[in-house]
Amino acid sequence: MSFKNFKCVPKMIFGRGSFAQLDAVLAAERKAANDFVVFLVDDVHQNKSLAGRLPAKTHDLIIYVNVEEEPTTKQVDALTAQVQAFNTKLPVSVIGLGGGSTLDLAKAVSLMLTNNGGSAEYQGWDLINNPAVHHIGIPTISGTGAEASRTAVLCGPVRKLGLNSDYTVFDQIIMDSELIAGVPTEQWFFTGMDCYIHCVESLEGTYLNEFAKAYAEKSMDLCREVFINNHEEKDDKLMMASYMGGMSIAYSQVGACHAISYGLGYVLGYHHGIGNCLAFNVLEEFYPEGVEEFRKMMALHNINLPKHICRDLPDETIAKMVAVTKSMGPLWDNVYGAGWEEKVTDEMLTKLFRRI
């Protein structure tokens, strides 16, 4: 048996207003006069006060990224080329400022600046050869745990799969809860539920161990403070929950909900957060307590999920989603343990999809 040797983020700053410290963090990386930094910023912040607070110097590159679609290998390759065209030198840091999508773009671009070829070649596990450019993650919406993880999830020509490697992990994260204050309720809920679901899947899974359990239990308590008790410091709590949920699944695995959500996302284009909510809502047999509490949280925040999105779809479309979902071996192994192949049948998955 071999135990995971988990590489985690070595430096982190936490606290309201800590974004202001980014300038000092970058000063430590800027050594020569012509050193430059790349800011990849979610375009939702363009022309907003946060954009005016970027500690950019005249020779830095600021790129506003659009995350209407989840990140693709094509987008990563184009951004990498844009950075290379801007300056033949490597930047001294790449900063991702936004949600899980923007954080993943920053991770991926920092890797592709030092690794030849296209990013699709590196979708998988430990395929990256060279260390990335120094990269910093600054979430402006919380839940995915992308700030803590060793993957950058990308939709490629063949599949949606991450660049999973030790080099993917951020060198620095800044968790400033002021930055997540203005997120619209629905999006806040969907991305926040990603975190709650990470905890449920980790705690209910066969991969559970004391490391993963400690993080998931605490993260789940924090989610309850946020989504049930409406705690006055809920932004700080959600930010911490997201990080800890990410730490938990990094040392365990996600489960049935993510497997189904990947199917929904790949075939129908549903984004990670809402896809998870749609899937989780039909998984009461897998996660009875979690689903009950999730429904209570939906009611508290007046969240209405779209209904019957799969009920009338052609059989071939359902079959495609079933195939993607079924291919998530480690996730099902986490759900059922050895012998999962006999339990994850087309019939069982088709029934679940038809209820979504």
Contacting residues toward Zn ion, per CB under 5 A? 194
- Bridge-based pairing of strands 93-98 and 37-42 is parallel
* Buried-exposed string 58-73: b where 16+ CB fall within 10 A, e elsewhere: eebbebbbebeebbbb
How many binding residues for ligand NAD (CB under 6 A)? 30
Where does residue 57 rank: exposed (0-12), middle (13-18), buried (19+ CB within 10 A)? exposed
With binding defined as CB under 6 A, does residue 267 bind ligand NAD? no
Residues 257/205, Cβ–Cβ less than 8 Å: no
Largest CA distance in the chain: 63
Contact partner at residue 95 from ligand NAD, Zn ion, none, CB < 5 to 8 Å by partner kind: none
Among 9, 26, 60, 99, contact with ligand NAD (rule: CB under 6 A): 99
Contact partner at residue 267 from Zn ion, ligand NAD, none, CB < 5 to 8 Å by partner kind: none
Among 79, 109, 111, 146, contact with ligand NAD (rule: CB under 6 A): 146
Contact partner at residue 219 from ligand NAD, Zn ion, none, CB < 5 to 8 Å by partner kind: none
Q: How far apart are CA 9 and CA 137, in angstroms?
A: 10
Contact partner at residue 331 from Zn ion, ligand NAD, none, CB < 5 to 8 Å by partner kind: none
Among 75, 80, 101, 261, contact with ligand NAD (rule: CB under 6 A): 101
**Smaller CB separation from ligand NAD, 194 or 225:** 194
Residues 165/128, Cβ–Cβ less than 8 Å: yes
Q: Which stretch binds ligand NAD (CB under 6 A): 18-26, 122-130, 138-146, 326-334?
A: 138-146
For every residue of 281-315, DSSP letters joined together read TT-TTTSHHHHHHHHHHHHHTT------TTTTS-H
- Bridge-based pairing of strands 160-164 and 153-155 is antiparallel
Coil, helix or strand at residue 40: strand
Min dist CB 67 to ligand NAD, Å, is 5
Q: Measure CA of the first residue to CA of the last residue in the chain; give whole Å.
A: 39
Q: Which of residues 172-231 bind ligand NAD (CB under 6 A)?
A: 179-180, 182-183, 187, 191, 194
Among 35, 60, 104, 236, contact with ligand NAD (rule: CB under 6 A): 104
With binding defined as CB under 6 A, does residue 163 bind ligand NAD? no
Alpha helices in the chain (DSSP H): 22-27, 49-52, 73-86, 100-112, 185-203, 210-227, 234-250, 256-268, 272-280, 288-300, 315-326, 329-336, 340-343, 346-355
Min dist CB 272 to Zn ion, Å, is 6
Among 19, 37, 42, 243, contact with ligand NAD (rule: CB under 6 A): 42
Min dist CB 142 to ligand NAD, Å, is 7
- Which residues lie near ligand NAD (CB under 6 A)? 42, 44, 67, 70-71, 98-102, 104, 140-141, 143-146, 149, 151-153, 179-180, 182-183, 187, 191, 194, 272-273
